């Protein structure tokens, strides 16, 4: 596959004010994407795109630049303001638009931001389209004739449309009455949609992380910092907690005791509950990072299991190739393709809640048969290429030989940040921790020079 210059595994992402996350680049990106979309319209009709964003203060700047680029290329724009990434995917498909754009850096701190695209069918852009956009970015901006400049309108009912969509994925014969649920919105894009979804289905909702100020997104809260959810569940005697990330595509939950249930276990719970309801579940897709205990538990249910490269786009590719519908990552990116075209934290939470209501079990009951193997993940701020350095690879290989089949090691570079990730898992916790630290030490030594 041709190497991309700007697009990573999840769009373009980086530090605000540092290329490529600058207003001039966003202008060029909007124009380039607009030109590609116009070129796809053989009938000469005008494309229309939807732009949403999370709650980062830099979203205003990037939104304006993208808007200018699209309209200069002759593309109409619909603005929805702060809206979860999966909401943009849904609205793009529901409104029959040409593309959707999300301004977000997902779980990253507010100093970062990013831009990602959805095609008209609600799926992430195909590689060929991303490459076509990249090829057009360095071309000069030539504004279309004044009569063809795009128009911009705000879609005022976007939140209401998405709330109703989320509720439609929950079984009509069930409700959440009698349940007390903590929902942590990470001061992000779900702050005005996740609490109403749960409330309108009957739950008593305790919302936290729902007061964004442009700077506090993901700051000590949400799916990447679930302790805030745990503390709120314990303090309020809630039945369970739901933690979303800044753009609403990740989900982490906890039970009534505050025990965290990660994406791997939630994926198991969804598969198990579907089987119990008599639904066909031919197989499940995880990633190279999926806990070995989860694979073992899924296979004990009689399910096939396949590992994809890390990143929800790769999980999606394998699901589509196999014709399956359930897949995800331990980080909380969960896909239910019979409910939505992309990972959706709210929709995934509703699938788990439906299983709880259908079976009468607690969240803890649902995952009791899914014992996780001890797993250590060490993230080291370092150039990504160090993940493939010969000394690091050799150190990892030696540790894996020492495990003698009772553990495994995965080295990978982050697709969104300058990080080298060292993941080690196995059946013996002490051996796992020791091996992870030895491999990480090699990376740190090389980093120090």
Q: Tell me which of 106, 119, 331, 341 is the catalytic residue.
A: 106
Give one DSSP letter per residue of 356-404, joined into a string: HHHH---HHHHTTT-PPPPEEEEEEES-GGGGG-HHHHHHHHHHHHHHT
Least Cα distance to 417 among 23, 1, 9 occurs for 9
Residue 185 near residue 195, CB atoms below 8 Å = yes
In b/e form, how buried is each residue of 182-209, taking b as 16+ CB within 10 angstroms? bbbbbbbbbbbbbbbbbbebebebbbbb
Q: Strand 48-53 to strand 76-82: parallel, antiparallel, or no bridges (unpaired)?
A: parallel
| The pair of three-digit structure tokens given for residue 230, joined into one six-digit string | 């745990």
Least Cα distance to 188 among 219, 161, 163 occurs for 219
CA dist 250 and 234 (Å) reads: 22
Give one DSSP letter per residue of 127-148, joined into a string: HHHHHHHHHHHTSPP-PPPGGG
For residue 312, count other CB atoms closer than 10 A to its CB. 23
Crossing angle for the helix pair 85-94 and 345-359, to the nearest 10 degrees: 90
Whether 104 sits among the annotated catalytic residues: the reply is: no
CA dist 111 and 394 (Å) reads: 36
CA dist 134 and 156 (Å) reads: 32
Residue 238 near residue 268, CB atoms below 8 Å = no
CA dist 327 and 337 (Å) reads: 9
Where do the H-state alpha helices sit in 79-203? Answer: 85-94, 127-137, 158-168, 194-200
CA dist 243 and 225 (Å) reads: 9
Catalytic residues: 106
């Amino acid at each position: 596959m041709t190497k991309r210059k700007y697009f990573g595994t999840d769009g373009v992402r980086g530090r605000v004010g540092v290329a490529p996350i600058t207003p001039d680049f966003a202008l060029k990106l909007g124009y380039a994407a607009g030109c590609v979309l116009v070129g796809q319209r053989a009938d000469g009709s005008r494309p229309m795109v939807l732009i949403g964003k999370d709650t980062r203060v830099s979203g205003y700047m990037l939104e304006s630049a993208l808007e200018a680029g699209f309209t200069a290329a002759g593309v109409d724009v619909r603005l929805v303001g702060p809206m979860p990434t999966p909401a943009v995917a849904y609205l793009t498909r529901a409104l029959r638009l040409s593309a959707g754009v999300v301004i977000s850096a997902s779980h990253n701190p507010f100093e970062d931001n990013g831009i990602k695209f959805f095609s008209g069918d609600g799926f992430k852009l195909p590689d060929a389209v991303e490459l076509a956009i990249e090829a057009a970015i360095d071309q000069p901006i030539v504004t279309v004739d004044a009569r063809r400049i795009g128009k911009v309108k705000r879609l005022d009912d976007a939140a209401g449309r998405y709330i109703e969509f989320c509720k439609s994925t929950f079984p009509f014969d069930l409700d959440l009455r009698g349940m007390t649920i903590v929902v942590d919105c990470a001061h992000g894009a779900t702050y005005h949609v996740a609490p109403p979804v749960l409330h309108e289905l009957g739950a008593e909702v305790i919302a936290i992380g729902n007061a964004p100020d442009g700077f506090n997104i993901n700051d000590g809260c949400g799916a990447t910092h679930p302790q805030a959810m745990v503390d709120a569940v314990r303090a309020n005697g809630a039945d369970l907690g739901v933690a979303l990330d800044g753009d609403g595509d990740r989900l982490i939950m906890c039970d009534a005791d505050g025990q965290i249930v990660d994406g791997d276990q939630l994926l198991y719970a969804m598969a198990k509950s579907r089987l119990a309801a008599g639904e066909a579940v031919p197989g499940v897709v995880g990633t190279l990072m999926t806990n070995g205990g989860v694979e073992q538990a899924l296979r004990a249910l009689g399910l096939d299991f396949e590992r994809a490269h890390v990143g929800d786009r790769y999980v999606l590719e394998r699901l589509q190739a196999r014709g399956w519908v359930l897949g995800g990552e331990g980080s909380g990116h969960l896909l239910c393709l019979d409910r939505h075209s992309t990972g959706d934290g709210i929709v995934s939470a509703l699938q788990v809640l439906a299983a709880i209501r259908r079976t009468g079990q607690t969240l803890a009951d649902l995952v009791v048969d899914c014992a996780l193997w001890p797993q250590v993940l060490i993230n080291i701020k370092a150039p990504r290429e160090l993940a493939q350095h010969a000394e690091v690879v050799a150190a990892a290989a030696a540790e894996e030989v020492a495990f003698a089949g009772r553990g495994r090691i995965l080295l990978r570079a982050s697709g969104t940040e300058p990080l080298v990730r060292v993941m080690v898992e196995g059946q013996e916790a002490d051996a796992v921790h020791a091996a992870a630290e030895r491999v990480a030490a090699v990376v740190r030594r090389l980093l120090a020079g």
